[in-house]
A = this chain, B = another copy of it.
Amino acid sequence: MSTGELELDRIKRLLPQWVEASRRLTAEGKVASYIPELSKSPREALGIFIMSASGDSVSGGDCGFGFTLQSISKVFTLILALMDHGEAHVFAKVGMEPTGDNFNSMLKLELVEPGIPFNPLINAGAIAVSSMIGGDSPHEKSARILRFFRELANSDTLDYDIDVYRSESETGHHNRSLAYYLKGNGVIADDVEDVLDVYFRHCSVKATCSDLARMALVLACGGADPLTGKRLIPRRYVQIAKTFMVTCGMYNASGEFAINVGLPAKSGVSGGILTMVPGRYGIGVIGPALNPKGNSVAGVHLLETLSAKLDWSMF
């Protein structure tokens, strides 16, 4: 058995008890309720799927059910925008800095010149990125995004949760506010509703933990799917994405996650977390009960446990 196989074996053995220990924390969390669809998620659920570069996998807890990507999708729309337009174009419209503010904050847009979003993983930045996806219409942009996501997840069936999409589109007033502010600042040139349609759609793509793990594995392996051998993303853009995931991936708890877990990760309000051990594993986690910063309370705890026990921190 190789070192890698030995570790996977150890995980297989210990994962059930780690999952159960972390699951207890779900009692402290709250399921996102700003749209009715999200509030239906099972509060006490916790699941994890780990896929190795050699195609082996381990899963634990409640891995079966699907959930919407929400902010997790922002990592991949950023990559697609970079593939469509290159670094110079994208970073003229969105910065590279963590903010310390809430994910939907408008403070820095007003206070800090030149009024562009601080980074592509907060809402303002991700909306700006949605406007930079190639395509002649919102429909075409969305189709390209879905195709890209499917390729990464190696799944032809990955699709929108139309109820969530509709719900977000109808109630997303703060995101509309952000988008119009960006339009006013000259960051967005397109029609705001068109941009938001693309944004709300990619947030509402539905996936499972194993889809997340597969998408993460591509990043963990520098942009090539290790199982098909196909290069899906240029290595530099993977590097950029992974860096943002470390500095800004877990909302304004990214610093704490970097200290306590030390892996590139991106969370969503559905309770999903996509993370990876670079070069080795892609990982998908779901735990709908959120902590006050908006991250899966049990999911973060489970990743802290894994990182500490298995010495996974990059740092």
Contacts and interface: CB of A to CB of B under 8 A. Distances in A.
A259 B108 CA distance: 21
Interface string A241-255: 011101110001111
Nearest to A102: B110
Contacts of A253: 97
A263 B254 CA distance: 17
Interface string A84-103: 00000000000111111100
Interface in A171-185: 173-174, 176-181, 183-184
B184 A180 contact: no
In this complex, the interface size class of chain A, counting residues with CB under 8 Å from chain B, is 35 or more
Given A97-B255, A240-B259, 4 more contacts: A97-B253, A173-B183, A177-B180, A243-B262
Given A174-B184, A177-B177, A181-B174, A315 B243 contact: yes
A119 interface: yes
Contact of A254 (B97, B107, B177, B315): B97
Given A181-B106, A246-B246, A239 B315 contact: yes
A14 interface: no
B247 A255 contact: yes
B181 A177 contact: yes
A314 interface: yes
Task: Report how many copies the assembly holds.
Answer: 4
A286 to B, nearest CB: 25
Interface in A156-186: 173-174, 176-181, 183-184
**Centre residue among A112, A119, A244, A314 by max chain B CB count within 10 A:** A314
A256 B178 CA distance: 23
A119 B239 contact: no
Nearest to A101: B100
Contacts of A278: 315
Contacts of A97: 98, 100, 252-256
Interface in A105-158: 105-108, 110-112, 118-119
Contacts of A110: 105-107
17 contacts: A95-B255, A95-B256, A96-B255, A96-B259, A97-B256, A98-B98, A100-B112, A107-B107, A119-B255, A173-B184, A176-B176, A176-B180, A176-B183, A177-B177, A177-B184, A242-B315, A278-B315
